[in-house]
Amino acid sequence: MLNLQRTAMFVAVADAGSFTAAAESMGLTKAVVSFNIRQLEDELGVTLLLRSTRRLTLTEAGVLFHQRSVRLLQEAERLQDDVRANHAGLTGELRITTTPEYGSQVVVPLLAEFSQQHPELRVRHVSSSQHADLISERFDVAIRLGTLADSRYHAALISNFTILPVAAPGWLANHPVESLEHLAQAEWIVHERLPSPLHWQVKDADGNLVAFEIKKAPRLYADSAQALMAFAHAGCGVALLPEWLVRNALNSGVLVSLLPGYTFAQQGIYAVYPDAQHVPAKVRTFIDFMRARVN
């Protein structure tokens, strides 16, 4: 039977490039690590490392064993975490950050239900329009909307949502919008943190993709969807907003959706977390919980 402790020592040596560095990282002596690697090679019947006075080199068998061992150790750690969570329930603290709008409307009610299911788990929610550095600010997960650009993190798709161009009825009465050309020349309120807020892909009623560009230079910018909606409600022009945010305003007639025959590209709802070797059970459990509830 493969010894996981010796396997972990081998991975540490291969990653560090020396017995001394691996031993220091594991809090062991060099002699203990060296002995266990020799025992592992004896058990496997192959040489994993070629040792010289200057460096260590993985053999062909060592390269293969290292690749498979990394995945094996990750899975073993996940299994241990899952068993502990299954026995004692989720514990510790779940630190999560969202935008203010989606947080208050969707995520916080879900967190309330999630915390009731896991009474030993502390939940800390932080809302911000700015994207937090998950590692330095010690967030377990961020819920982000739209298009993701930061490759440092791993992202799990939760769901998708529709975005709609909306305006106040009073503004629309004075500025009729009957075509994409009219919409392109309208007074727009723009989200300043979007990478390309003036250029979009839309589909017509037949499903054909059409390139759409806002032609008239916008005068109003904001860094949150809530502020965009407030500007639109005040009769300042057209804002492109999530359907989940403007649903009540549309139902009450406070805002009107423009050109319903055209649809803007759907946007993603993502759970983003540090791309670590081991994803905590509390993070995986919350992502699964949120995906089931949102969908």
Q: Which residue has the higher pLDDT, 120 or 247?
A: 247
Instruction: Establish if 114 belongs to a structural domain.
Output: yes
Q: Are residues 231 and 219 in the same domain?
A: yes
pLDDT at 189: 97
Q: Are residues 60 and 180 in the same domain?
A: no
* Boundary residue ending a domain (46, 73, 100): 73
Tokens of 180: 């994409």
d(CA 200, CA 256): 20
pLDDT at 154: 87
Rounded to an integer, the average pLDDT of 33-50 is 94
Instruction: Establish if 28 belongs to a structural domain.
Output: yes
d(CA 181, CA 208): 16
Query: Position of tokens 């896991």?
Result: 118
Average pLDDT in the chain: 90
pLDDT at 56: 87
Per-residue confidence at 88, pLDDT binned at 50, 70, 90?
Answer: low
Q: Are residues 46 and 124 in the same domain?
A: no
Q: Given the DSSP bridges, would you call strands 188-191 and 238-242 parallel, antiparallel or unpaired?
A: parallel
Instruction: Establish if 83 belongs to a structural domain.
Output: no
Q: Are residues 117 and 137 in the same domain?
A: yes
Instruction: Establish if 31 belongs to a structural domain.
Output: yes
Helices (DSSP H) in 196-253: which residue ranges? 225-233, 243-252
pLDDT at 86: 59
Q: Are residues 175 and 242 in the same domain?
A: yes
Instruction: Establish if 81 belongs to a structural domain.
Output: no
Q: Are residues 145 and 286 in the same domain?
A: yes
Q: Considering only CA atoms, which of 146, 165, 145 is closest in space to residue 229? A: 165
d(CA 3, CA 19): 18
Per-residue confidence at 45, pLDDT binned at 50, 70, 90?
Answer: very high
pLDDT at 281 over 90: no
Q: How far is CA 218 from CA 89, 193, 244, in A?
A: 52, 14, 24
Asked whether 203 and 214 are in contact (CB, 8 A), the reply is no
Q: Are residues 62 and 146 in the same domain?
A: no
d(CA 274, CA 277): 9
Asked whether 84 and 127 are in contact (CB, 8 A), the reply is no
Tokens of 169: 């009825």
Instruction: Establish if 82 belongs to a structural domain.
Output: no
Q: Are residues 151 and 171 in the same domain?
A: no
Asked whether 106 and 71 are in contact (CB, 8 A), the reply is no
Q: Are residues 131 and 260 in the same domain?
A: no
Q: Are residues 174 and 239 in the same domain?
A: yes
Q: How many domains does the chain have?
A: 3
Identify the CATH number of the domain in which residue 34 sits: 1.10.10.10
- Tens digit of each residue's pLDDT (9 = 90 or more) over 156-168: 999 999 999 999 9
d(CA 197, CA 200): 8
Rounded to an integer, the average pLDDT of 172-195 is 94
Q: Are residues 43 and 171 in the same domain?
A: no
- Tens digit of each residue's pLDDT (9 = 90 or more) over 137-157: 888 899 999 877 666 788 899
pLDDT at 97 over 70: yes
Q: Domain of 172?
A: 163-265
pLDDT at 87 over 60: no
Q: How far is CA 295 from CA 17, 53, 102, 113, 263, in A?
A: 47, 59, 15, 16, 21
Rounded to an integer, the average pLDDT of 167-195 is 95
Q: Are residues 167 and 237 in the same domain?
A: yes
Identify the CATH number of the domain in which residue 171 sits: 3.40.190.290
pLDDT at 278: 67
Indicate left, alpha or beta for 45 from its phi (over 0: left) and psi (-120 to 50: alpha): left
- DSSP code string of 91-123: -EEEEEEE-HHHIIIIIHHHHHHHHHH-TTEEE
pLDDT at 130 over 90: no
d(CA 262, CA 247): 18
Query: Position of tokens 């192959």?
Result: 46
Tokens of 201: 């892909």
Tokens of 119: 């009474």
d(CA 227, CA 208): 32
Identify the CATH number of the domain in which residue 121 sits: 3.40.190.10
Query: Position of tokens 């727009």?
Result: 188
